[in-house]
Amino acid sequence: MSILGTYIAVLITTPSREVSERIAESIVEKRLGVCVNILPGIKSIYWWKQKVEKGDEELLIIKTRLDKFQDLTALVRKLHPYTVPEIIALPIIVGNNDYLKWIDDNLEK
Query: Is the pLDDT score of 9 beyond 90?
Result: yes
CATH code of the domain containing 53: 3.30.70.120
90 found inside a domain: yes
- Tell me the per-residue pLDDT of 11-33, one tens digit each, with 9 for 90 and over: 999 999 999 999 999 999 999 99
Task: Let me know: does 25 contact 67? Beta carbons within 8 Å.
Answer: no
0.85 exceeded by pTM: yes
- Beta strand pairing status for 88-91 and 35-48? unpaired
1 found inside a domain: no
Domains in the chain, number? 1
Domain that holds residue 48: 7-107
What's the CA gap between 63 and 103, in Å, rounded?
Answer: 8
- Tell me the per-residue pLDDT of 40-70, one tens digit each, with 9 for 90 and over: 999 999 999 999 999 999 999 999 999 999 9
